[in-house]
Amino acid sequence: MTGAPVAITCGEPAGIGPEVAAKGWAALRGEVPMVWIGDPRHLPGGTPVTIVSDASEAPAACADTLPVLHHAFAGPATPGTADLGNAQGVIDVIARGVDLVRAGGACALCTAPIHKKVLMDGADFAYPGHTEYLEALTDARRAVMMLASDELRVVPTTIHIALDQVATALTPDLLRTTIQITAAGLRDQFGIEAPRLVVAGLNPHAGEGGAMGRQELDWIAALVAEVAATGIDVTGPWPGDTLFHAAARTRYDAAICMYHDQALIPIKTLDFDRGVNVTLGLPIIRTSPDHGTAFDIAGRGIANPTSMIEAIKLAARMANG
């Protein structure tokens, strides 16, 4: 194997991140060069490991062992029980991974799941999630979270906020930027020359002519038309309850949704195991599995690695154009 590796961050060490990373390496070791950043004590017992001092050593080691850039943590990991003392290590590994990709030592970043409350309680983590932290680390104007699988691509315009805050947070500038970044990302990183986008309504039945909310009438429809006039193939707003059946999905390459669950429920229902989180709008390529830390099954050796495998593969494909 040649070329810069995909850098995989350890994520929450008490969750399933180390397990699915080890399984991902086992599945792809002859296909995708990779390097894992973390404390090797947190990997499942029996994982063959080579400690590398530089990511450039990873491709040569990857066929027989999992290459590891050692990052010391305060303590061991007890599966299913987070240690607040390890929170700063989790945060620092993400930053190290970003630096590695930006310096050219890795071609892309694939991040294992974190537990946001653990980071907030253990290290005063100031961000609602991975996406926002990566946005800050890379000085990106705005990062957009896209969930992708073979069945569907969805983008939540507002992300990790309470539902009662969505109508206030949803602004014309935010929606415009989200559409623009999604179109550019599909074109530049997914090779879709003329991406087709649809925008979901905020309210039931897209407001039903103002009977169930006025945002669609007052500004969303006009904003979509304004963006379409710039040459982006985008339509809407469409009722969210009719956008995701099989026939509807043939008419677009990505759906712009208004809030977290409007986007994530359909993709997790259609393709729970193979969904991948892709962050658009960053100066680096970043993917992650579309699941959480799964404390309830951590350490039992039964975690399904499919989403991590798909995330590693997609990161490598995007890096290779």
pTM score, whole prediction: 0.91
Question: Could you tell me the CATH superfamily of domain 1-140+282-321?
Answer: Isopropylmalate Dehydrogenase (3.40.718.10)
Average pLDDT, the chain: 95
- pLDDT value at residue 283: 95
Q: Tell me the percentage of the chain whose pLDDT exceeds 90.
A: 88
Rounded Cα gap, residues 100 and 102, in angstroms: 6
Average pLDDT over residues 137-144: 92
The DSSP bridge pattern shows strands 66-70 and 108-111 to be unpaired
Q: Domain spanning 143-281: which CATH class is it, in words?
A: alpha beta
- pLDDT value at residue 153: 98
- pLDDT value at residue 118: 94
For 186-237, the pLDDT digits (tens) are 999 999 999 999 999 999 999 899 999 999 999 999 999 999 999 999 999 9
- pLDDT value at residue 94: 98
State the Rg of the chain over Cα. Answer: 20
- pLDDT value at residue 197: 98
For 64-123, the pLDDT digits (tens) are 999 999 999 998 889 999 999 999 999 999 999 999 999 999 999 999 999 999 999 999
For residues 296, 301, 307 and 309, what is the CA-based torsion angle, rounded to 10 degrees? Answer: 160
Does residue 265 contact residue 257 with C-beta atoms inside 8 Å? no
156 has which bridge partners? Answer: 257
- pLDDT value at residue 288: 97
Task: Decide if pLDDT at 1 tops 60.
Answer: no
Q: Where are the domains of the chain?
A: 1-140+282-321, 143-281
Rounded Cα gap, residues 20 and 111, in angstroms: 11
- pLDDT value at residue 131: 87
Q: Is the CA virtual torsion 173, 174, 178, 181 positive or negative?
A: positive
CA angle 238, 280, 231 (to 5 degrees): 55
Please tell me which residue, 1 or 171, carries the higher pLDDT value.
Answer: 171
235 has which bridge partners? Answer: 198
Establish whether domains 1-140+282-321 and 143-281 are of one fold: yes
Task: Decide if pLDDT at 321 tops 80.
Answer: no
DSSP state for residue 296 in the 8-state scheme: T
- pLDDT value at residue 2: 59
pLDDT category at 277 given cuts 50, 70, 90 is very high
- pLDDT value at residue 169: 96
pLDDT category at 59 given cuts 50, 70, 90 is confident
Amino acid at 220: I
For 281-295, the pLDDT digits (tens) are 999 999 999 899 999
